[in-house]
Amino acid sequence: MRQAESTYTLFLQWLLLLGIMLFISWLFWDQGLLQAAVLSDPTRITLIILLLFSIATAHCAARTLFLSQQQNALDRIIQFITTSPPAPGSNRWWVANRLPEKESLAGQMIAGLVAGSGIAKKQSNMDSHLLAQVMAEQARGQHEIGWFTCGLLVKLGLLGTVVGFVLMLAPVAELESFDLSDIQGLLQRMTTGMGVALNTTLMGLSCSMLLGMQYLMLDRAADRLVAEAVQFSETRLFRTAQRQA
Which pLDDT tens digit goes with each residue over 99-147?
777 788 888 888 777 766 544 444 455 567 888 888 888 898 899 999 9
Whole-number pLDDT of residue 145: 93
Whole-number pLDDT of residue 126: 58
The Cα–Cα gap between 235 and 1 comes to 14
Distance, CA of 40 to chain centre: 31
pTM of the model: 0.82
pLDDT tens digits along 85-99: 666 555 555 565 677
The Cα–Cα gap between 49 and 79 comes to 45
The Cα–Cα gap between 60 and 83 comes to 35
The Cα diameter of the chain in Å comes to: 97
The whole-number average pLDDT for the span 178-203 is: 78
Cβ atoms 165, 7 nearer than 8 A: no
